[in-house]
Amino acid sequence: MQNIENRRLAIIGAGVSGLSAGWYLRDSDWEVVTFEKSRGLSGRAATRTMNDVRVDHGANYFKINSPILEDLILKELPTEGLFQIHGDVFLFDQQSTIIPGDPNLNKETKWNYKNGISDLGKRLAQCSGSKIIRQTRVISLEECSRCWNLISDDGRSLGVFDAILFTPPAPQILDLISDADVQESSLNELNELLAESEFNSQFSIVMGFKNRIERPNDCCAMLNEDRKHAVSWLGFEDSKSGRVGSDASVIVAQMSPEWTTSHYDSCDDVLFKESIIEVSKIINFPEAGPAWIDKQRWRYAHPRVALDIEEVENCAPEGWFFSGDSFVGRGRVGESMVTGIEAAERILNTF
C-alpha cells in the first residue's frame, strides 16, 4: 500500500471539465497537476480580445441547471461580473425566415461573465488546489510499476502519477494514448470505444460593425432549426452586458458543420467573403460589410454521440479516468463540468 499523502493525479486539459475536477479535489489528499497545451485556460469556453472587444468565439453562454452547478458557480466561485444575458434565442430556417424560439428553453437563464466566458475556467483554476502547467502538450505515457510517466511533445518526462484524468475530446485522447507503453493489458478495446466518438468541426466567424445591426426586439441569438442553412448560430455579443459600445455590433456566426468541412482549408479571403454572403441572408448589413472580421477554426467543436463512461473506464488500465463532453454527446459547458466533478468523485471512491 502506498501512503495516501503520496497520491498524485495528472489532469490532462484545463477546459471546464478538467478544471471542475481539480476544483472538486481541492481539499482532498491528492496532489493534482493539470497540463494544458494552450496558453489560456477554459478550453472551448473561450474568449479572445478582438479589435478591443472581449468576444466569446467558442461557447456563447452557459446554463446552471443542477444543484452542484448552482453551488459551485453561485456560491463557491467569485460572482463579481457574472450576469444573465437578456433576450431570447430566435430560430431561422433554410430560407432565412426568422421566428421566435421555444418559450420554455428561452425561460432558462443564460449566464456569462462581463470579461468573457473564459472567466469561468479562470475562476475554477483560482479556486482549485491544482497546480496548472500551461503550454505543455502531453503526447504519450508509459507505465512504470503501477504508475504513469507522462511525456510532453518536447520529449520531457512530466512526472510520475498514480492516476490520470483524460479530458480532451475523445479523438484527441485516442491520439494521445496510441503510443502509450502499457505493460500488462492491451489498449485495443479502449481504442475501439474511443474511436466511436464523432465530433463536428466548426468555424466561428466574428464580424464587427460600427453601427447597431437590426434584429427582432429582444433577440440575443439565432439558431438554425432545420440544420439546412450554412450558418448554424448567430450570437450578438452586443447583448452581453456592456461589452460592445451601444452604437456598435459584434456578431459571432458559427458556420454549419457541412459549410465548415467544405471550407476547412480555404484562405481567409474566401472564408470571410462567403460567410458574409451567408450571414447577410439572415440579417441586414450595411453595404460596406463589417468594419472588421476574424475567425476561429474548431476541429473538435461539438460531439455528435455520447460515449458510455462506465464502458470506457472498465476497459482502461487501472488509474485511468475520463471526463468531458465526449461523454455528454452534445457541446454543453455545464454538463461537461458535471462530468469532471463525477470523475473526481470516482477517483476519491476508487483509491
Q: Which residues make up the interface to ligand FAD (CB under 6 A)? A: 12-18, 35-38, 43-45, 58-62, 137-138, 167-169, 172, 176, 202, 204, 254, 298, 301-302, 324-325, 331-333, 336
Minimum CB–partner distance for residue 49 and ligand FAD (Å): 17
Nearer to ligand FAD, 281 or 330 (CB): 330
**Closer of 15 and 208 to ligand FAD (Cβ):** 15
In DSSP notation, 245-293 reads -TT-EEEEEEEPHHHHHHTTT--HHHHHHHHHHHHHTTS---TT--SEE
CA atoms within 13 A on the CB side of 185: 12
CB nearer to ligand FAD: pick between 61 and 209: 61
* Least Å from the CB of residue 296 to ligand FAD: 8
CB 172 within 8 A of CB 159: no
**CB 152 → ligand FAD: shortest distance, Å?**
8
- What burial letters (b/e) apply to 184-210, b meaning 16+ CB within 10 Å? eeebeebeebbeebebbebbbbbbbbe
Nearest approach in angstroms of CB 41 to ligand FAD is 7
Q: In the block, which residue shows the cell 453561485?
A: 74
Cell of 258: 457541412
Q: How far is the CB of 292 from ligand FAD (least distance, A)?
A: 19
Measured from the CB atom, the residue of 204 and 275 that comes closer to ligand FAD is 204
Cell triple for 168: 480532451
Is residue 228 within 8 Å of residue 94, measured between CB atoms?
yes
Cβ neighbour number for residue 107 with a 10 Å cutoff? 8
Cβ nearer to ligand FAD, comparing 111 with 272:
111
Looking at the Cβ atoms of 172 and 249, the one nearer to ligand FAD is 172
Least distance CB 140 / ligand FAD (angstroms): 9
